[in-house]
DNA sequence: TGTTAGCACTCTCATGTTTTGAGTGCTAAA
DNA sequence: TTTAGCACTCAAAACATGAGAGTGCTAACA
């Protein structure tokens, strides 16, 4: 195992590199008064640490740089529990006037996170699987057009405008809304198409005329692409990092950011709690030289979303980890409040 | 004025430069069979065109590059009416199942525009000044929380979740909704706060108890920050352009893209029809070396939004202009359909 | 036995120099 | 009026050089 001195040196090297982004040399280290050893001694220890795989050199005579293994060790063992104080209460400030807007909370959180860290943050909206229908309303806008509104038990509002098929009267519309509410209230969103097919269809046949043509549009109406929404913060922040001094690097990063489905996958399969993926621990090619930190937040009732932060492997893990922890807690807190019982 | 030959040469030079992004020299030009003159002749003409300000050299012995004046002339006089065929009908394809979702249409249009051109597109949502209230609904989610929904005559749906102040019963809520609908229907959005203050308040006093504390939250509830929404397409496209080979250039561009209010201003004050701003014709520092094309689209009733495309001054104006024209028409068409009379 | 000073060596980076090639302007001939 | 020819210019690529920071190793030291 590592000696105490090696641990100490490793820690100092990583801290230094995280701050400066420049390979750290033995001489410079011994000059700082953090380490009471001569350059030569430090050199020896460095050589050992390199042999063990915690450090690397960029070329034969350069200073040392932490390896991914080094960062991993640092994250797992060398970070004390440090509480990051700033930036707490952002979400509280937003909600204490009584207005909760999901989108707004999430967007604010994403922006705060990126602003406080100078990295890029991504927040994944919650899975809606367990969300159920609270109420459905259809409102005619004109003779030919109407808007359908669906409210879920979590207070989400989905809506869609559409043109009315010919021959649908306003009383038909009323009947339809009744049937829909009758059959769909309390039903989870993902079951909507099925229930429409099996139950609503026959009822419509019974009470309304000229249904055959309309049935189809009702189905499409409520079959929303169940896309999970992504919220970004500080997409441009990453450009400030010296490791993004290369145009191709930037290109590949931004092209990934546009492939939202891939990002969703990337963030989704993170378990509970906070997870750190360093460099090649990431599956996606474009971020094999970056670190990704994910944390989950919850809306009552088990649904959850993910908060993520992307930055160079040379990331301020100490700060970031405690910050992520507190923000995910805050979000869980804020969200829980407005979640209603499944009814 | 310019001779025919000068016009011809200017056109060929600009076309060539737009395609290759490299300064074009006399020899290379005379080799192409577009121009039946020798290099020397072309050189003489080029010298004249430069003196007139249509061309520039990047250094004493380089090929010529179009100046902003050159592009301006090109756009104003040298582009024939060319109809760009591809990519038409994108929006129709979206709406022919009867479902119009404003956001979706606009987002699709933005993406199509950027994909077809390889530049970055921005679409400005419509001003809502003339939009009026169609209906308001408040739906309790639980004992403490509720969601308020506002539908406009154009089919826009705004919603907000909030916690109910203590002591508000469900019958209170019902009364409230009645009062709101009674007083606010047909009222333009921007007048809502005023009407609440002047008319709704007194009615609430009369028919509900414990109002004083609640009035405030109702006001905030319906005082939405009247932000115009922006839709982006192909933010990463611009990175493919050779003029973005410099990290600082990229930084400044993306930092502008994050200052949404500035972008709104930039796009807003464009008049009807299509407008091309080349390089320094733009007011904003960050795009003084880019070209910005804006076109307006309309939702019935005079409201309008803006479609914009940002690319290098070396832009494929021919293609872009006709494309913008047809997309803005398509959008106006699609939008108009679902607009209801002001009622 | 662990620590340190000293020295030769290595590699990057910044700077300076040379070469090459594309392009121009001008002159004189067609 | 057009074109061929030639001297000249400049940017960019290729190459050369030196300084600086860092290493590894050896030998001396506590």
Q: In percent, how much of chain B has pLDDT > 70?
A: 88
Q: What is the pLDDT of residue B59?
A: 94
Higher-confidence residue of A315 and B343: namely A315
Q: Are B233 and B120 in contact (CB under 8 A)?
A: yes
The nucleotide closest to A40 (CA, C1' atoms):
C4
The partner residue sitting opposite A134, judged by closest CB among B134, B141, B255, is: B141
Listed range (A76-85, A221-230, B54-63) with the worst mean pLDDT: A221-230
Q: Which residues on A lie below 8 Å from B141 (Cβ)?
A: 134, 153-155, 338, 340
Residues with CB under 7 A from strand C: A 36-41, 44, 58-62; B 23-28, 39-40, 43, 46-47, 50, 57, 61-64
Estimate the crossing angle of helix A39-51 against helix A4-20, to 10 degrees.
90
Interface test with B, best of A161, A186, A219, A222 (most B CBs within 10 A): A161
Residue nearest to nucleotide C10 (CA to C1'): A61
What b-and-e string marks burial along B249-284, b requiring 16 or more CB atoms within 10 Å of the CB? bbbbbbebbeeeeebbebbeebeeebbbbbbebbee
CA pair distance B267, B275, nearest whole angstrom: 10
Q: How far is A62 from chain B (nearest CA, A)?
A: 26
Q: Are B338 and A161 in contact (CB under 8 A)?
A: yes
Q: How far is A83 from chain B (nearest CA, A)?
A: 30
Residues 6+ apart with CB under 8 A from B292: B266, B276, B277, B282, B308, B309, B310
* pLDDT band at A163; cut points 50, 70, 90: confident
Residue nearest to nucleotide D8 (CA to C1'): B61
Q: Are B146 and B173 in contact (CB under 8 A)?
A: yes
Per-residue model confidence as pLDDT tens digits over A256-296: 999 999 999 999 866 678 999 999 999 999 999 999 999 99
Chain B residue closest to A256 (CA)?
Answer: B236
Q: What is the pLDDT of residue A97?
A: 66
Residues with CB under 7 A from strand D: A 23-28, 39-40, 43, 46-47, 50, 57, 61-64; B 37-41, 44, 58-62
Mean pLDDT of chain A: 87
Across A233-253, average pLDDT: 93
Regions of chain B where pLDDT drops below 70: 82-88, 96-99, 209-216, 224-226, 269-271, 300-303, 337-343
Q: What is the pLDDT of residue B342?
A: 39
**What is the CA A61 to C1' C9 distance in angstroms?**
9
Query: Structural domains in chain B?
Result: 4-78 (1.10.10.10), 90-127+228-337 (3.30.450.40), 133-222 (3.30.390.10)
Q: Which of A162, A158, A157, A159 is nearest to A140 (CA)?
A: A162
Q: Are B120 and B232 in contact (CB under 8 A)?
A: yes
The nucleotide closest to B50 (CA, C1' atoms):
C24
The partner residue sitting opposite A250, judged by closest CB among B134, B160, B239, is: B239
**What is the CA B23 to C1' C14 distance in angstroms?**
30
The partner residue sitting opposite B142, judged by closest CB among A141, A157, A341, is: A341
**What is the CA A58 to C1' C9 distance in angstroms?**
17
Q: Is A298's pLDDT higher than 70?
A: yes
3-state SS, residue A65? strand
CA pair distance A61, A164, nearest whole angstrom: 74
Across A150-170, average pLDDT: 83
Per-residue model confidence as pLDDT tens digits over A49-64: 999 999 999 999 999 9
Which region, left, alpha or beta, applies to residue A31 given φ > 0 means left and ψ of -120 to 50 means alpha? alpha
- Give, in degrees to the nearest 5, the angle at Cα B315 between B311 and B317: 120
Q: Are A129 and A303 in contact (CB under 8 A)?
A: yes
The partner residue sitting opposite A100, judged by closest CB among B98, B162, B220, is: B162
Say which DSSP state A287 is in: G
Chain D: bases < 7 Å from a protein Cβ:
2-5, 8-11, 20-26
**What is the CA A243 to C1' D21 distance in angstroms?**
21
Across A243-262, average pLDDT: 93
**What is the CA B53 to C1' D7 distance in angstroms?**
27
Q: How many CB pairs under 8 A join A and B?
A: 137
Interface test with A, best of B121, B135, B141 (most A CBs within 10 A): B141
């Amino acid at each position: 195992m590592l000696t105490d001195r090696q641990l100490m040196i490793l820690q100092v090297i990583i801290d230094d590199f995280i701050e400066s982004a420049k390979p750290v040399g033995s001489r410079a280290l011994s000059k700082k008064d953090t380490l009471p050893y001569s350059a030569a001694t430090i050199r020896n220890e460095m050589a050992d640490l390199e042999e063990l795989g915690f450090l690397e050199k960029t070329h034969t005579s350069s200073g040392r740089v932490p390896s991914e293994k080094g960062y991993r060790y640092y994250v797992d063992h060398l970070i004390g529990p440090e509480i990051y104080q700033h930036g707490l209460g952002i979400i509280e400030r937003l909600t204490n006037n009584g207005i909760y807007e999901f989108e707004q909370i999430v967007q604010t959180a994403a922006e705060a996170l990126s602003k406080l860290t100078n990295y890029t943050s991504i927040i994944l909206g919650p899975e809606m699987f367990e969300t159920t229908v609270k109420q459905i309303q259809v409102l005619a806008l004109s003779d030919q057009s109407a808007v359908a509104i669906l409210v879920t038990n979590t207070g989400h509002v989905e809506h869609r405008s559409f043109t009315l098929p010919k021959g649908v009267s306003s009383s038909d519309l009323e009947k339809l809304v009744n049937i829909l509410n009758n059959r769909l209230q309390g039903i989870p969103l993902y079951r909507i198409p099925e229930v429409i097919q099996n139950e609503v269809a026959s009822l419509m046949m019974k009470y309304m005329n000229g249904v055959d043509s309309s049935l189809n549009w009702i189905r499409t109406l409520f079959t929303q692409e169940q896309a999970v929404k992504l919220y970004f913060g500080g997409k441009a922040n990453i450009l400030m990092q010296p490791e993004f001094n290369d145009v191709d690097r930037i290109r590949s990063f931004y092209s990934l950011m546009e492939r939202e489905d891939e990002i969703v996958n990337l963030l989704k399969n993170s378990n509970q709690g906070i997870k750190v993926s360093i460099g090649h621990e990431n599956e996606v090619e474009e971020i094999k030289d970056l670190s990704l930190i994910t944390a989950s937040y919850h809306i009552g009732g088990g649904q959850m979303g993910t908060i993520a932060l992307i930055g160079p492997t040379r990331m301020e893990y100490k700060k970031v980890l405690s910050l992520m922890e507190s923000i995910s807690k805050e979000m869980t807190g804020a969200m829980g409040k407005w979640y209603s019982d499944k009814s």
